[in-house]
Structure 1
């Protein structure tokens, strides 16, 4: 009997210990699951709150540190992007062609050498055939007006948009109208240009310089100061702001004002860099890029132009503004350039006539 009772007691103790062990394991498992669930919740919450990782984007361009395009355009863009993304997206500027040559800025952005690129269209002849309409003679007077016309053309013509199909345009803009700067000899008439070596920024300007008997010399604006100083060229065409941003007021003697052409600029972003941003970050950038930044660039150029006129006059440069009567002769000499531009685009299957007509229409407003 006693032996039986002992056996029952032992059995009950064994069952009790088994039950306790089982409860202990369940409790531990529940705590582990709770911890895992909590970790998952934190991770998901972090993804939701942090709309995207913080990014630093490299912005490459050719302009020097003191150039208005660095101080009043690139830095404005960088500041606005940083503010709009609550500091998540930082834009680091690399001025002075540190990452790519002046004519390699677009390719640098398109291929991912840099996240963004900014330069002059005409440094890549033939790559932007319809954009170059704004480089034709007498299109606009100010950068603000020219930039608005160019962006409106971009939005209206799919063929013009195709010129930027491998990037995300940040802005398209123009300078104020370009003038003629010379050393030693003043230009007042078409005949005065004959035989002069004039630095030219584009094929469109080359065409009308040749029409007037001048010899166009192609080079980037970074090379112009030395070329003028050493007599490699007799003069250059350029927007007024370049007198100050490239210190040309120190080496030129005369400025002939006729609003002969406009320089055009692009700011573009690598497509993969753009796509890698979070949706919220892309939306923030989209609010800034486009028409807004095109106007920022145009207005910055115009403000700098006013400063450059003053600096050039103080340095002793003599300004000569062509009268309406004098301009008629220049316009007649330049008309073949316009006709040839239109014909060339039409022969290439592009709407050259429509784009030119629309540009004139928008300019006349």
Structure 2
């Protein structure tokens, strides 16, 4: 009897250990704090756990695993299985997707941003470049057009941008350079301190980031309609970790992307709806540029930036013209479908 009981105990323990071993646990590296920008990461973690009865879990870490500018490196060495990063932090590592950061692409809303990002992420040149970092594209983090908050007198002409020190990365930084501004690419987490200490006069962010990183609290004014472009911030997974998933786990992950993005868009829409109330509450003046000023900015920034980017990409063996044309075509198709 004792032998039978001992055998049963061993079997129970063996089953328990096997169940533990079968469970999959991932870590996802993001930064800052939970906010509109990370809601799809939180949602996909929730959905994956639900669909697998807790057998596949994703722990979302806000800065505990890596600096935001090092997340792609962390993915490449398998330090964690999932990460969010922004292309402008290291444009040399993710050249192909920087087409999405070109100024004045004409993207009008978050749904269009999702459409163009998906199209570009699916391009073979992007997959090939990401594979060099052992990374597979999972989903985008769609953001509205960036706008400035600033201190002092409002800047509402291109001439007033001359000498302006602006926190702006990637293509946005280059766009501001064309009108005499001086861009700096401090990370989002450093933007408030840069503004507070006077290192920059202005910060270019989407609305959620101005709230999350506190730059709106230092602002005297906000450019409501400058809309020069945005940054592109993918969520990627480590290829080896993804390939190690079971078919059911892959289905749970891939099959949750659309729902996670829908949740993100709904949540971000609520933030945009209350943005004017935030400005009023904090006493921030809304600056509106005339159509003439906007047209002048676009003529100075958009065409030269696009041509220079395409030429640079083609010289590096990346199909720049093809990627740019893909963005234009996708926008046209998206609008036609509406």
Structure 2 CA distance for aligned equivalents of residues 304 and 77 of structure 1: 20
Structure 1 CA distance for aligned equivalents of residues 186 and 318 of structure 2: 28
Which digits, 9 at most, give the CA deviation of each residue in 1:85-138, with x for residues without a partner? 12111111111x211111111121221111211121211121111211111112
User: Given the alignment, which residue of 85, 107, 124 partners 1:119?
Assistant: 85
1:293 Cα deviation after fit = 4.3
1:192 Cα deviation after fit = 1.0
TM-score after normalising by structure 1: 0.80
1:221 Cα deviation after fit = 0.9
The alignment status of 1:169 with 2:137, answered yes or no, reads yes
Structure 2 CA distance for aligned equivalents of residues 221 and 309 of structure 1: 22
Structure 1 CA distance for aligned equivalents of residues 281 and 248 of structure 2: 49
Structure 2 CA distance for aligned equivalents of residues 117 and 330 of structure 1: 34
User: Given the alignment, which residue of 62, 70, 77 partners 2:44?
Assistant: 77
The alignment status of 1:110 with 2:76, answered yes or no, reads yes
1:300 Cα deviation after fit = 4.0
Q: Structure 1 residues 296, 127: CA separation in 2 closer, same or farther (over 3 Å shift)?
A: farther
Q: Which has the larger radius of gyration?
A: 1
TM-score after normalising by structure 2: 0.86
Bigger shift: residues 254-263 or 168-177: 168-177
| Contact 2:167-2:204 at 8 Å conserved across structures | yes
Q: Which residue matches 2:126?
A: 160
Structure 2 CA distance for aligned equivalents of residues 232 and 185 of structure 1: 17
Long gaps (5+) in structure 1: 1-34
Q: Which residue matches 1:58?
A: 27
Q: Which residue matches 1:218?
A: 185
Trace 1:320-359 onto structure 2 (pairs within 5 A). 320-334=287-301, 335-359=303-327
Q: Which residue matches 2:196?
A: 229
1:309 Cα deviation after fit = 3.9
Residues matched between the structures, number: 318
| Contact 1:60-1:105 at 8 Å conserved across structures | yes
Which digits, 9 at most, give the CA deviation of each residue in 1:151-184, with x for residues without a partner? 12222x2112222222232212331111122111
1:173 aligned counterpart, secondary structure: coil
| Contact 1:243-1:308 at 8 Å conserved across structures | no
Q: Structure 1 residues 85, 168: CA separation in 2 closer, same or farther (over 3 Å shift)?
A: farther
Q: Structure 1 residues 110, 295: CA separation in 2 closer, same or farther (over 3 Å shift)?
A: farther
Q: Structure 1 residues 292, 352: CA separation in 2 closer, same or farther (over 3 Å shift)?
A: farther
Structure 1 CA distance for aligned equivalents of residues 276 and 307 of structure 2: 33
Structure 2 CA distance for aligned equivalents of residues 159 and 200 of structure 1: 26
1:57 aligned counterpart, secondary structure: strand
Q: Structure 1 residues 309, 221: CA separation in 2 closer, same or farther (over 3 Å shift)?
A: farther
The alignment status of 1:180 with 2:180, answered yes or no, reads no
Structure 2 CA distance for aligned equivalents of residues 74 and 297 of structure 1: 9
Structure 2 CA distance for aligned equivalents of residues 91 and 56 of structure 1: 6
1:193 Cα deviation after fit = 0.2
Q: Which residue matches 2:271?
A: 304
1:340 aligned counterpart, secondary structure: helix
Q: Structure 1 residues 340, 301: CA separation in 2 closer, same or farther (over 3 Å shift)?
A: farther
Structure 2 CA distance for aligned equivalents of residues 68 and 318 of structure 1: 23
User: Given the alignment, which residue of 86, 89, 98 partners 2:64?
Assistant: 98
Q: Which residue matches 1:28?
A: none
1:304 aligned counterpart, secondary structure: helix
Q: Which residue matches 1:19?
A: none
Q: Structure 1 residues 322, 196: CA separation in 2 closer, same or farther (over 3 Å shift)?
A: same
Q: Which residue matches 1:189?
A: 157
Structure 2 CA distance for aligned equivalents of residues 143 and 163 of structure 1: 25
Long gaps (5+) in structure 2: none
| Contact 1:254-1:319 at 8 Å conserved across structures | yes
Q: Which residue matches 1:146?
A: 113
The alignment status of 1:242 with 2:220, answered yes or no, reads no
